Chain A
Amino acid sequence: MLKRVPMSKLKSLIKKKAHIRIGTAADAMVELNVLLFLHSLAEEARTKAFEEKSATIKACHVKAVCKKLLKQARG
């Protein structure tokens, strides 16, 4: 079972600029986006770790795939 994301934290993260407001349910969508992003990150890191014949995901594996994924996550 997944934990719930702390909503107020999430809101404050989106709301760095003071004049922006967040509509109803938009924060739930952002939660979905975060989950999807972490999902793809985990999958890519796992494949990377598998390629390098390592059973555990290490920091270097995550680092190797993060550039690609952050690029994908561009709007």
Chain B
Amino acid sequence: RGKTSGTKKDLGLPKSYVTSVFKHFAKTKVSSDVYPVLKEIMERYFDRLADDLEVYAAHANRKTIEVEDVELLMRRQGFVTDSMPVNVLIEKYLPMESRKLLIPVATSGNYVIPKPRRK
């Protein structure tokens, strides 16, 4: 968590984003006092996420967090399994702009964006 410059900096994701996503997935009425709890949960979640990703990257002797690291994390979290491959999740949840970054798409001139990942 950022310790600098007062209260504005250490807010995690914006309130509107977190609540709207939560409401979208909840599909029932959500009382308005849920947000402080959500905020705390997200903070703890991100703390752990950052630590884990750093450890995975360091384990592979890298200083850069790559897609493989996050994929491994999701495998460990049980989101990605053998019957639920990561591409299915990407197509189900992510908007088109992010999907383009992750799944190779052929464009004109036989260019494939992004470069297919090495296996």
Contacts and interface: CB of A to CB of B under 8 A. Distances in A.
A33 to B, nearest CB: 6
Given A14-B53, A16-B50, A19-B63, A32 B77 contact: no
Interface of A: 2-6, 9-10, 12-17, 19-26, 28-39, 41-43, 45-46, 49, 55-59, 62-63, 66, 69-70, 72-75
23 contacts: A6-B14, A13-B13, A14-B65, A15-B50, A17-B54, A21-B65, A23-B67, A25-B101, A26-B65, A26-B67, A30-B53, A30-B70, A33-B73, A33-B77, A38-B22, A38-B25, A39-B93, A42-B25, A46-B28, A57-B30, A59-B31, A75-B49, A75-B76
